[in-house]
Structure 1
Amino acid sequence: MFYFIAFGWIIGIACMGQAFTSILELSLPVNILLFIFLFLELIFYRKISTYLFKFLCCSSAFILSLVLGLNYADHHLVQRLELREKQVEDVTVLIYVKHISELRENSFQQKIEVLNRKSKPVQWFSSVELDQGDFELGKYFRVSGKLRPAHGYATDGSFDIEKWYIQQNIMGNLKVSTFEEISPQEVQQFGYMQYVKQQDTWLSQSLVWIEKQRLLIRQFIQIQPIRHKGLTLALLTGDESLLDKNLEQQFQRFGMSHLLAISGPHVVIFAVIICWLIQYLIDRFKPDIYLKIPRQYLLIYPFLSCVIIYCAYVGFEIPALRTLLVCILGSLFILLKQSIKPLSLLLLSACILLFFDPFSVLSAAFWLSYGACFILLRIYQTIQNDKLEQASFYEKCKHYIGALIESQWKIFIALFPLMIIFFNQISWITPLSNLFAIPWIGLIIVPLDIFGGISYFFFKPLSTIIFQLNDLMLSLLLHFIQLLDDIFNPQLYPIYLNIWALAGLILALIILFMPKGIVPRAWSILCIIPIFLGQQSSETFEFVLLDVGQGQSIFIRNENKKMLLDTGGSFDEDKFSIGEQVILPFLSIKNSRKLDILILSHLDQDHSGAYFKIKNQLYVQQLYSNEILEDQDHNQLCERGKKIDLGSNIDIQVLLPHIEDLTKKPFNKNEMSCVIYLQLAQAYPYQNYLFMGDAGWETEFKLLQLYPNLKVDVLVLGHHGSQHSSAYDFLKNIRPKIALISAGFDNRYGHPSGKTIQRLKHLNIPYLSTADVGTIKIKKNKTGQTGLRVLRNQKKWLKK
């Protein structure tokens, strides 16, 4: 019964923010009634004798728990969404600083608590230039700067920065221009007396003191004569400020990023070291205390204290919190002399964690942490079942090494679905690299790191020596990783499975990892059949206007043929790459790294800059552009009259520019954009599409002369809706059913122009902008019906 309730609660909270959950939203009294009914079921469950009633009871308990979890999560989500910022504006706010800064390339980034913005204090990220310095911990400041809301690229496959902000409880970004320290007395005069009193409590002061120690140890490690300062600091406190970006990327390619996070083993190792020292002192000076209090009961209290202190020291990250909850619950079971069921303990800790912080479910760390723990529990049970008491030392070592190897491939396989769900990519070398790295880091590097951290508070010269020894151990690890890199050069491989294939894979893994005899393991083969059936789709045509910020990229699929029109591009693709962060993840989800057609309407950075960053990771059968690219094969000019083949029931042609205009140098790049016209056979209501690139009034005038009766249902406005495109007469003549605008949020050009929007409104032409609604999709089903959807309507935190 408990398992049904626990899984229902976890799954219900996991549905947080989904659009479909609105139909299950219930009032508070109804939720209370459901909880009472669930409680009564739990009480009377043991009195039920028939299997049928037990099944009905468990099923109803699961459903009730799921609905309660869903409503609980959405209630908290709505409250948090009300606190987030939505507009760009200049602000002056009062802040309190309780978190250390994170070093960036040209600035300090720091969490700040803003007092005078909402009905209660909220957290923002602040960014301060290096020459201005960062905020001092435990102080109040009056800060001025530009406030920006969290706004990411609402495109399938790209990192959901808005979800991350909600999960981290960050409500906005502040680019600081000026700041000055103010006294607590001044803050009280502004009406925040209660807040100041709260920060003066021993608990709040203790947390600030811990943050100050984290800052001091970062500064101490910075001046040490060691090579791997960033890795040393990250493994000790979770602070990644000094971490080299190339090393981070290498760990990602090897599937070892989880080793950079403070996880359960870090916490337990620290607690075990301290408890071992305490036990040594007791055994040496006061062993008779065990006559009054058994050893296991006596050591529970320092053990838990160490776990709590270290979790606070690393900022209560999710893996550390999971360890804390498991340790507290396990200790309570021991003190109450109750039997411990590992799976029940794990599920109970997950339920409690989600009760206190339901937003943890949005983090990949939550699922990966608990998933790995579940697999390790199964392996631990296997080890425990073996009779090793009489085995020799050699046989025991052989057995445990075998268990270590077994654990790596089992964890890799078991977490495979989660890696697909959260990252859409895997690294095949993960089991091999982790086989060496996990014991090396867990048994040598982390203990040395912790010894160095402890000795820092008592005898700094000893700490320096230990950190230097630890640096040598890190060098050996990194040399091994580099050797593997030189031999195999592993890369992250994109992978995507549809919902049915993914569900089948998860079910197959559940069957495989069940104890023997419950379900025949051969059934798992049936579960993975959907993977080999291919990604079947009911849509025969798909048009996607991607949200790439201030730029343009359009994906078109007709049956099994795929085309990309422009790739977008950031101002500096080396600093932040639209190609690597948006285009490639999207194409991976669509299984479209191989493109039949790529059209670059023109070579401006915001339309084609990303292509030159990712061209070696794409296979393009035919490339069209308004200029011939010297290093590209299969490159043709997109001249007027050229037909583009993308399969049956679709006609694509280039309307402009003229070939003679393209041969004149120099020419206006915007007005020489490739203007593409697409017609679908037997489609309604969106049959005819016109893509204008960056073309303006001059090109529009030519189109009216050459094609006076052009039928357009969907118009992608030229030049992102600037005032020098989409002329009134042009719009009036073609009268599209809908106008689409590809523009970036709060872009410096002011696109789309207010004048363009007024023309659309005056002509009663509906419009959508990617800046407002994210990625825009139009799909045609087998009956010819075309439907339009926008991505920001699919998640509650994406809606503006």
Structure 2
Amino acid sequence: MIKLRTILLYDPLYLILTIISLLYSFVMMNYFPYTSKYKMTDTTVEGYIHNFKIDGNKLNILLKGKERIIINYYFETEEEKNSFPFELGDNIKIYGEMEKPKESSVFNLFDYKKHLYRNKIFYLFKADKIELISKNTRLRYSIKQKMIKHIDNIGKSTSYVKALVIGNDDEFKESIADSYQFNGVSHLFAISGSHITFLSIIILWFLKRIRVEENKRYYIVIFILIFYMFLTDYAGSVMRSVVFFSLLSLNKMYYFHIKTINILQLTLFVLLIFKPSLLYDVGFQFSFLISLYLVKYQPFISSIKNYIKQTFIISLIAFLVSIPICINNFFQINLLSPIINVLFVPYVSFILFPLSFLCLLFPFLDNLIFLFVIVLENISLYLSTLKIGEIILAKPPFIIILIYYFLISVGINKMAVKKYFYLIPLVILIFIHNNINYFSRYPYLVFIDVGQGDSIFISLPHNKGNVLIDTGGKISFEQPWQQKNNTYKIGKDTIIPFLKSIGIKKLDYLILTHGDADHMGEALNIVKNYNVEQVVFNSGSLVKLEKELIVELDKLNINYDFLKRGDVISIGEVEMHCLNPSRDINENDNSIVLYLKIFKHTILLTGDISSNIEEDIILAYPKLKVDILKVGHHGSKTSTSEKFINTIKPKYAIIPVGRNNRFNHPSEIVINRLRSNDVKILQTSTNGSIKIIIGLNEVTIKTAST
């Protein structure tokens, strides 16, 4: 025992274990591929329901069968949805077909396929029919199911009780969730160390009151917390907190006298050996790194006697440590976050969190909680509308993340001895990072994969201009019962995050070629949520979407103009010549057609024009030659005529088109026509987003999908 204590008190041991666990996780995740027990040809799967979620007309089940697999099923009627008969733990059989998860098709954004793979989920299963084999007999699932039902019946504050008790924050209103993220307070609704500490103190106090022996008290709490991990679906931050508390308890019970920071490193070792995928879990990264710095600088924090000042210092340290994680995943930070947290942390920790647990026992507290919720939400919404403190920072390479942490560590270390000027290098790095596009040398285009639609981004060197041509979008025909709580929006969930990921702070022009939804359906979302200097429409008759957008532009005081043949948009050293429309015809043929020449390279962007307008253009511009052609109307057979291709002689043809679209775009006729003219074809449906970097003598093409 003495020898064991000697080993456990050896500080370098924990650094060695930390390095081993990090290397082990990285190697296991990247060099030892997992293989699935299912086959792509399987048409049935069996297992029990580990978790499920109903959102609109969609049912999502996490099934434990041969391995974990995600089941997607769409209710056909509202009655079917309301009479959903299954519960957690039920054994079911599903009929349907396997689907491969879609990899990220937009540069820098979340890769769903990789996320599932790291969690050993290899397939999605598109369900046609679900049959019950047997009802649940597992006690843990029965308890969880009853708790969820109980919370669902609480009332107006259900979404907050769910978030703060079982870690499910999916039911927040979209605008509220966005405001929390913008203000840097989303972490308060993810169960973490403070929540686990609160629960532990309450349970330990109760056990002490009923005179349970001290060691037994800790073992009981550890057992309860392990079950609580199951209730929260083993969230990374909860696992970190529970294992950390458990090791701290053992350290206290058996008088090992291990330093707290070493116990935290041991926690990391245990968790990463047990579950290597936690290395890539953003919640776990936040939880562990913030805890590491708070533990390391606990003496400094404890020396501050003023509560408000102490809370601010804690918030400031947490904010600084989280900067690289936020930049890497969300591409922005809010400089006011430490101040906002001074207000929000005690409000959530000492009011909402305890009341949420009390509400489980006393549901009549629902109205009281909701009163506090309304106050919190209104403050958060107001602060987010001010748009103060937001800094957009492009996704950094790993070496820059390491430099950030070096400067952050030096800054916090010197801050502890009141040498605040050591934070200046970090401020300088953030300033340079925020203005990184002033250092870009070459212009580039990105054909963003927005499914069945167009969205083209053009960036000029040294931040001299940024243009977005079309936004993608789609028309929804869903009935109210089919609509999701947080509907995926191309503009808000794809285009804006992509622009932030490359450090774009504003759009000089948003050019909308025409008024169809697949080209401008997301324009409202973009002008409401992003900095747009000017919007450009074609000069044809205005359609409904264009009229609605103009009303919003007037409210937002955003300039707009109308483009016709012969007009030129000059931005930086580049001129964009408008070749169409020349007259008012129909919506597709009214599309703005832009011709650009950058260095020696020529580009033609054709909207949805038909072969009639193509012929009109080559009659008006008989010497028109093009290196890069954006194929008209997603490769429809009504566009891209043989005469047009023979005249302009493109080297590259880019086709923005959705996978398995109902229009069967692109047409085989168009594909064969391009191939017979030796044109290299790229499609967003197969290549994902397509980036074309314009060099002095040649172009470089990169694609998001392999």
Q: Hey, what does 1:571 align to over in structure 2?
A: 475
Is 1:743 the counterpart of 2:657? The answer is yes
Residue pair 2:327, 2:393 contacting (<8 A) in 1 also: yes
> For the structure 1 residues 341 and 566, does the alpha-carbon distance in structure 2 shift closer, same or farther, using more than 3 Å as the test?
same
How far residue 444 of structure 1 moved from its aligned partner, in angstroms, is 4.4
How far residue 369 of structure 1 moved from its aligned partner, in angstroms, is 0.9
How far residue 516 of structure 1 moved from its aligned partner, in angstroms, is 7.6
* From 413, 418, 424, the counterpart of 1:514: 413
Partner SS for 2:94? strand
AA partner of residue 471 (structure 2): T
Residue pair 1:547, 1:774 contacting (<8 A) in 2 also: yes
Deviations along 1:108-155, whole A, 9 cap, x unmatched?
322123x5xxxx434113234253315333333332346544336632
Q: Hey, what does 1:545 align to over in structure 2?
A: 447
Partner SS for 2:576? strand
Q: Hey, what does 2:140 align to over in structure 1?
A: 210
Deviations along 1:625-656, whole A, 9 cap, x unmatched?
243666367544432232221232x4431223
Residue pair 1:449, 1:467 contacting (<8 A) in 2 also: no
Q: Can you give the 5+ residue segments of structure 2 that lack an aligned partner in the other structure?
A: 1-11, 478-485
Deviations along 1:68-126, whole A, 9 cap, x unmatched?
554322135x326x67998xx9x73122223232231334322123x5xxxx4341132
How far residue 281 of structure 1 moved from its aligned partner, in angstroms, is 1.6
> For the structure 1 residues 625 and 163, does the alpha-carbon distance in structure 2 shift closer, same or farther, using more than 3 Å as the test?
farther
How far residue 496 of structure 1 moved from its aligned partner, in angstroms, is 0.9
AA partner of residue 599 (structure 1): I
Q: In structure 2, what is the Cα distance between the partners aligned to 1:681 and 1:441?
A: 56
Q: In structure 2, what is the Cα distance between the partners aligned to 1:228 and 1:491?
A: 28
Q: Can you give the 5+ residue segments of structure 1 that lack an aligned partner in the other structure?
A: 14-64, 185-199, 284-289, 387-395, 454-462, 793-798
Q: Hey, what does 2:563 align to over in structure 1?
A: 638
Of 362-371 and 251-260, the range deviating more from structure 2: 251-260
* From 326, 338, 343, the counterpart of 2:261: 343
How far residue 606 of structure 1 moved from its aligned partner, in angstroms, is 0.9
How far residue 269 of structure 1 moved from its aligned partner, in angstroms, is 2.8
How far residue 270 of structure 1 moved from its aligned partner, in angstroms, is 2.7
Is 1:779 the counterpart of 2:693? The answer is yes
Residue pair 2:183, 2:383 contacting (<8 A) in 1 also: no
TM-score, length of structure 2 as denominator length: 0.83
AA partner of residue 277 (structure 1): F
Residue pair 2:43, 2:98 contacting (<8 A) in 1 also: no
How far residue 259 of structure 1 moved from its aligned partner, in angstroms, is 2.4
> For the structure 1 residues 519 and 436, does the alpha-carbon distance in structure 2 shift closer, same or farther, using more than 3 Å as the test?
closer
Q: In structure 1, what is the Cα distance between the partners aligned to 2:87 and 2:371?
A: 34
Is 1:495 the counterpart of 2:409? The answer is no
How far residue 538 of structure 1 moved from its aligned partner, in angstroms, is 4.2
- List aligned pairs for 1:717-756, cutoff 5 A: 717-756=631-670
Q: In structure 2, what is the Cα distance between the partners aligned to 1:508 and 1:677?
A: 46
Q: In structure 1, what is the Cα distance between the partners aligned to 2:51 and 2:140?
A: 10
Q: In structure 1, what is the Cα distance between the partners aligned to 2:415 and 2:51?
A: 50
Highest Rg: 1 or 2?
A: 1
Is 1:136 the counterpart of 2:87? The answer is yes
Partner SS for 1:540? coil
AA partner of residue 407 (structure 2): A
> For the structure 1 residues 519 and 748, does the alpha-carbon distance in structure 2 shift closer, same or farther, using more than 3 Å as the test?
farther
Residue pair 1:719, 1:725 contacting (<8 A) in 2 also: yes
Q: In structure 1, what is the Cα distance between the partners aligned to 2:661 and 2:415?
A: 59
Residue pair 2:603, 2:629 contacting (<8 A) in 1 also: yes
Partner SS for 1:695? coil
- List aligned pairs for 1:554-703, cutoff 5 A: 554-559=456-461, 560-572=464-476, 575-616=487-528, 617-621=530-534, 623-627=536-540, 631=550, 635-648=560-573, 650-658=574-582, 661-662=583-584, 667-682=585-600, 687-703=601-617
AA partner of residue 456 (structure 2): I
Q: In structure 2, what is the Cα distance between the partners aligned to 1:704 and 1:669?
A: 20
* From 149, 156, 162, the counterpart of 1:219: 149
How far residue 575 of structure 1 moved from its aligned partner, in angstroms, is 4.1
Is 1:413 the counterpart of 2:320? The answer is yes
- List aligned pairs for 1:246-395, cutoff 5 A: 246-282=175-211, 295=214, 297-334=215-252, 337-383=255-301, 386=303
Q: Hey, what does 2:4 align to over in structure 1?
A: none
Partner SS for 2:211? helix
Q: Hey, what does 2:480 align to over in structure 1?
A: none
Q: In structure 1, what is the Cα distance between the partners aligned to 2:179 and 2:425?
A: 37
How far residue 778 of structure 1 moved from its aligned partner, in angstroms, is 1.4
Identity of matched residues, %: 25
AA partner of residue 476 (structure 1): F
* From 674, 694, 701, the counterpart of 1:760: 674
RMSD between aligned residues: 3.5
- List aligned pairs for 1:64-79, cutoff 5 A: 65=23, 69-76=25-32, 78-79=33-34
Deviations along 1:401-424, whole A, 9 cap, x unmatched?
542232123322332332222112
AA partner of residue 62 (structure 2): K
Of 312-321 and 667-676, the range deviating more from structure 2: 667-676
Residue pair 2:176, 2:381 contacting (<8 A) in 1 also: no
Deviations along 1:413-466, whole A, 9 cap, x unmatched?
33233222211233455334433443343344434444554xxxxxxxxx2xx2
> For the structure 1 residues 584 and 572, does the alpha-carbon distance in structure 2 shift closer, same or farther, using more than 3 Å as the test?
farther
> For the structure 1 residues 523 and 269, does the alpha-carbon distance in structure 2 shift closer, same or farther, using more than 3 Å as the test?
closer
AA partner of residue 701 (structure 2): L
Of 542-551 and 703-712, the range deviating more from structure 2: 703-712
Q: Hey, what does 1:712 align to over in structure 2?
A: 626
AA partner of residue 34 (structure 2): Q
AA partner of residue 369 (structure 1): S
Residue pair 2:447, 2:456 contacting (<8 A) in 1 also: yes
* From 140, 160, 185, the counterpart of 1:231: 160
Q: Hey, what does 1:26 align to over in structure 2?
A: none
Partner SS for 1:568? coil
Partner SS for 2:566? coil
Residue pair 1:640, 1:656 contacting (<8 A) in 2 also: yes
Q: In structure 2, what is the Cα distance between the partners aligned to 1:601 and 1:7?
A: 55
Of 760-769 and 716-725, the range deviating more from structure 2: 760-769
AA partner of residue 623 (structure 1): V
Q: In structure 1, what is the Cα distance between the partners aligned to 2:177 and 2:230?
A: 24
Q: In structure 2, what is the Cα distance between the partners aligned to 1:679 and 1:126?
A: 47
